[in-house]
Amino acid sequence: MTSNRNGPNPHQGSKAGSLLFWLVFHGVASFIVLAVLLVVVPMFDKMFMEFGLKLPFPSVLVVNLSRFVVSYGLLVIPMWLLLDSGMLCLLILPVEMPRWLRSLWCGGVLIVAACLIVLVAISLVLPFVGLVQGLS
């Protein structure tokens, strides 16, 4: 705990709590994204190959991203967790760090994760829409 001539720093506990909150929140978001990329997308990829569907560009992008994470996950996942937790520590713990920069990182990571989930959902539905239109 940091102290100054006026006594202990009253913001130190709240900063540690804030850091823990954002670490857990980002961890849950990262887990959801990884579960989708490592479990859901490969199941659809197998289905697409069995049907012999020609995939639109967003679907190809998502399938290739999933294949990359499956192939290099042991390298990419720890690097992402270290980068995210390091950035959170650097942005939350120092007193001098501007609040907008903290908010940008904390919210930005969540927005990117949500956009990625939406992109995956749309990309996995697009080939089926094309298949249904082709059958009509």
**What are 59-107's pLDDT values in tens digits?**
999 999 999 999 999 999 999 999 999 999 998 888 788 889 999 999 9
Q: Is the pLDDT of residue 13 over 50?
A: yes
Domain assignment present for residue 108? The answer is: yes
* 8 Å CB contact between 34 and 52: no
Q: Is the pLDDT of residue 119 over 90?
A: yes
Number of domains, the chain: 1
Domain assignment present for residue 31? The answer is: yes
* 8 Å CB contact between 18 and 92: yes
Domain assignment present for residue 1? The answer is: no
Q: At what angle do helices 41-51 and 99-135 cross, to 10 degrees?
A: 20
pLDDT digits 0-9 by tens, 19-57: 999 999 999 999 999 999 999 999 999 998 998 888 999
Q: Is the pLDDT of residue 2 over 60?
A: no
Domain assignment present for residue 9? The answer is: no
Domain assignment present for residue 2? The answer is: no
The parent domain of residue 55 ranges over 14-135
Question: Among candidates 112, 102, 94, 128, which has minimal Cα distance to 32?
Answer: 112
Question: Among candidates 1, 11, 28, which has minimal Cα distance to 84?
Answer: 28
pTM of the model: 0.81
Domain assignment present for residue 91? The answer is: yes
Domain assignment present for residue 3? The answer is: no
